[in-house]
Amino acid sequence: MFGAAVCAGGAVWALAVRDEAEFRARALFAGPAVRRVASWRCGAALAGAWLRGRREWGCLAAGLLVALAGGSLLPLAGGALAVPLVRRWLRVREAARRRAEREARVLGVCAAVAGELRAGAHAGQAVTAVLRGEGDVLGAGEAGVLAAAAFGGDVPGALRVAAREPGAEGLAGMAACWRVSVDGGAGLAAGLERLERALRAEREQREGLRAQLAGARSTAVVLALLPVAGLLMGTALGAAPLRVLLHTGLGLGCLVTGLVLEGLGLCWAWRIVRAGERS
């Protein structure tokens, strides 16, 4: 039953991700049977798109499959409990991705503004041209920076406000360079170029450290998946591990103990990796 459910899910996914344009074109000139199949496939495609936007619900689907295979509602309840945890983890990953993108955009802004200044543009004109050309770079503080640069306002203050966005901390250095160039007469282009090199070196160092820690993350993931591999092997050998774990007292005790140890191990490995990143 478990294998049949997995195969059925794979078939639905394969039908959903295929190109629908040709099939819909045929359905316009086909009979009712083909139109019914087309409606089913369009529904499957919509369901697949909805699930791709809400990947955390895959935990509930996995719990349902295991519940069908083991004849118990405990996996379904576990999948439901895992949904908010996975949602939070996905949000953290999305925030980290946006932070990295904003860091790269801040580097591009520093280099582009320095290039505009080298070409002879005024500081306010250079910032305005770069920000309008790059699009949404600074997040909520971009409007303030544009207004200050266009109308002669406090550009360093606006940059410091924009630097509060995650990933835009380099704008605080840009504000310092701007303040020094206005008060002391130093070259803003040279300061921005030095700032861009410093931020790039820091980013490359952080990426190198993350690459070195990728092995530790992979090891933790592999060790976390070993119990799942053991259950699959036991099922293939006919030992019925799900029946033992879900329908006997000793099996339930082993399941709870294993889940607790699994969670503690993952938390421990995650803390080790985070400590290495902070260092």
- Per residue, the 3-state secondary structure of the chain, as one string, reads CHHHHHHHHHHHHHHHHCCCHHHHHHHCCCCHHHHHHHHHHHHHHHHHHHHHHCHHHHHHHHHHHHHHHHCCCHHHHHHHHHHHHHHHHHHHHHHHHHHHHHHHHHHHHHHHHHHHHHCCCCHHHHHHHHHHHHCCCCHHHHHHHHHHHHHCCCHHHHHHHHCCCCCCCHHHHHHHHHHHHHHHCCCHHHHHHHHHHHHHHHHHHHHHHHHHHHHHHHHHHHHHHHHHHHHHHHHHCCCCHHHHHHHCHHHHHHHHHHHHHHHHHHHHHHHHHHHHHHC
Tell which wins on pLDDT, 3 or 17. Answer: 3
Tell which wins on pLDDT, 36 or 80. Answer: 80
Q: What average pLDDT does the segment 211-217 reach? A: 84
Tell which wins on pLDDT, 51 or 142. Answer: 142
| Spatial separation of the C-alpha atoms in residues 220 and 188, rounded to whole Å | 47
- Please give the C-alpha separations between residue 31 and each of 26, 28, 37, 38, 43, in angstroms, as whole numbers: 10, 8, 10, 11, 19
| Spatial separation of the C-alpha atoms in residues 121 and 130, rounded to whole Å | 11
How does pLDDT run across 108-149, given as a tens digit for each residue? Answer: 888 888 888 888 888 888 888 888 766 666 666 677 888 887
Position 49 scores a pLDDT of 46
How does pLDDT run across 219-262, given as a tens digit for each residue? Answer: 888 888 888 888 888 888 888 888 888 888 888 899 899 989 98
Q: Which residue has the tokens 């379904």?
A: 76
Q: What average pLDDT does the segment 24-32 reach? A: 51
CB 138 within 8 A of CB 131: yes
Position 15 scores a pLDDT of 52
Position 76 scores a pLDDT of 85
In the predicted structure, residue 46 carries a pLDDT above the cut 70: no
Q: Considering the chain, what is the average pLDDT of its residues?
A: 77
CB 266 within 8 A of CB 223: no
Position 186 scores a pLDDT of 61
Position 134 scores a pLDDT of 64
Name the least confident of 141-145, 188-192, 194-198, 204-208: 141-145
- Please give the C-alpha separations between residue 191 and each of 9, 134, 186, 201, in angstroms, as whole numbers: 57, 21, 8, 15
